[in-house]
Chain A
Amino acid sequence: MGMTMTQKILAAHAGHEEVKAGQLIMANLDLVLGNDITAPVAITEFEKIGVDGVFDRGKVAIVPDHFTPNKDIQAAEQCKVVRSFAQEKQIENYFEIGEMGIEHALLPEKGLVVPGDVVIGADSHTCTYGALGAFSTGIGSTDMAAGMATGQTWFKVPAAMQFRLTGTLQEWVSGKDVILHIIGRIGVDGALYRSMEFVGEGVSQLSMDDRFTIANMAIEAGAKNGIFPVDEQTVAYVKEHSYRDYTVYEADPDADYDTCHTIDLSAIRPTVSFPHLPDNTRTIDEVGDVTVDQVVIGSCTNGRIGDIRTAAAILKGRKVAKGVRLIVFPATQRIYLQALREGLVEALVEAGAAFSTPTCGPCLGGHMGILAKGERAVATTNRNFVGRMGHPESEVYLASPAVAAATAITGRITDPASVSG
């Protein structure tokens, strides 16, 4: 029996010719990541292990992005712990305010992840880098500590689900709609413990930004990782951002998949996840009349330049509806600058948007856009759990940047096609 793309990457990093689903392996790590919430716990655990330094100063990345710019004294103290550790251990990839960004947008942009890598991160959306043909997965702080100390971690080799993408996306439909559609189909534990491998001619129709969004939300289906094959677009992206050598792995033709799903991209409609689970999806045609108090465009899921461009294209020359608060978060400083140079910031601010510095902020109910009791938001983020963006009785509807921007104009969840042009 052949191996899936994920299994091939894991086999190579564990020094095995072959691995099988269910097998326990010890794998070498190309990158270990943490942020200002998870790294403090990892640092405490790291100190207990009793090693002098991290296994490789160039293979640890620490990005204070969640409660930054520091939201309160306690958050400032946590960031200080992280900063001191990074300085003391001479971590090369520590990114301070002013040069930082949301970790999962920042690391690919800085060229720190390339095809064929094995990456663990103490953040569940670490699975984002599967867009580059890497194996990457979220772990907790203790695993991060052990990873930083030893450069290795154990994995149970995952079984896989195959998603064959066909056709081309319609106008105003994006990677976000694709992944919400898939999660709606298979459920929030539909891919539990498994890989989601995306294949087929439809892949070439998806931009890198779309692929990052899709891989990013694999965790919302319970998956261990989501992964895309490496094609010309991937290679162009990696050459633009990284000097590192990379290895392209391909699934064997006889690889074993638990299930195979065909996804016709041309049939996907703008899709919205209703409270309080990402799999509670409806197409824009089934949404009905849902008014909102706040619209958030940004996050590791949808804060990339393509997302900001889409929002600006819809909002340029329009106004945000009275009574609606629109907050836009570019995911990195570089995206911020690019948005500025392209005139996107001007278009959005003139429309009535608040344009923020990069932060995870409101996505997890941290700061910079918390919801009051009974308030409702449309967000391009990744989770709509109870209390996710603020009060336990507030509501979050997940959608694409296009739907979010259209909604900001009308004040109710809106099909972007109805306001464009």
Chain B
Amino acid sequence: MQAKGRAFKYGSNVDTDVIIPARYLNTSDPAELAKHCMEDIDSEFVKEVRTGDLIVADKNFGCGSSREHAPMAIKAAGVSVVIASTFARIFYRNALNIGLPILECSEAVRGIEKGDVVEVDFTTGEISNATKGQIYQAEPFPEFMQELITAGGLIPYIRQKKAT
């Protein structure tokens, strides 16, 4: 399982209210949510983002509300992985549960700048910055978590397990 794209870079404490403001929570349609992703922190994001791109941020990414609409919006916007120094715990759970890959790696956060082309190998946890020619190492997910992400999240994973 791999991801490749350009990086969007943010600082610490990117909260769920800027990822998807509550004024848009009267729907749970992922495509609708994606139209407003990151709107209050980076109004250019939805115009620039392309399928496969990455979000890179510092500490406590996704702090605040438990709204699963936050990782849903990011995933539906086409983001292939979020790399941060640390994640807020509810966001962490939600992202994995809906099949949005996330990785904790301070070294990568320090090295990657906006626009860098980055490739991630989820099996090994290796993050390659093609623009800078740097390689960073994150803790890879255990096998079951990789299966869960590949399945598309917790519910499809549970269904798959029930079927086999």
Contacts and interface: CB of A to CB of B under 8 A. Distances in A.
A313 B89 CA distance: 39
Interface in B58-97: 59-60, 63-69, 72, 86, 88-90, 93-94, 97
The size class of the interface chain A forms with chain B is: 35 or more
A83 to B, nearest CB: 16
B89 A193 contact: yes
Given A123-B66, A124-B65, A49 B158 contact: yes
Contact of B97 (A40, A140, A192, A219): A140
A192 B61 CA distance: 11
A192 B98 contact: no
A38 B68 contact: yes
Given A123-B66, A138-B66, A142-B68, A385 B155 contact: no
A263 interface: no
Interface in A47-75: 48-50, 66-67, 71-72, 74-75
B153 A139 contact: no
Interface string B25-62: 11110000000000011000000000000000001100
Nearest to A39: B28
A363 to B, nearest CB: 9
Contacts of A193: 89
A142 B13 contact: no
Contact of A142 (B18, B26, B89, B154): B154
Contacts of B63: 188-189, 222
Interface string A19-47: 00000000000000000011011001100
Contact of B26 (A38, A72, A387): A72
A2 to B, nearest CB: 24
Interface centre among A38, A188, A189 (most CB of B within 10 A): A189
A372 to B, nearest CB: 13
Given A41-B69, A392-B40, A140 B26 contact: no
A229 to B, nearest CB: 24
24 contacts: A45-B155, A50-B162, A78-B27, A123-B66, A124-B65, A124-B90, A138-B90, A139-B90, A140-B67, A140-B68, A140-B97, A140-B98, A142-B153, A146-B154, A188-B63, A189-B59, A189-B88, A277-B13, A365-B17, A365-B22, A365-B23, A385-B18, A386-B40, A388-B22
Q: Which 7 A-B pairs have the closest CB atoms?
A: A140-B94, A74-B26, A142-B97, A189-B60, A140-B68, A364-B22, A124-B66
Interface of A: 37-38, 40-41, 44-45, 48-50, 66-67, 71-72, 74-75, 78, 121-124, 126, 138-143, 145-146, 188-189, 192-193, 219, 222, 224, 277, 364-366, 383, 385-388, 392
Interface of B: 12-13, 15, 17-18, 21-23, 25-28, 40-41, 59-60, 63-69, 72, 86, 88-90, 93-94, 97-98, 153-156, 158-159, 162
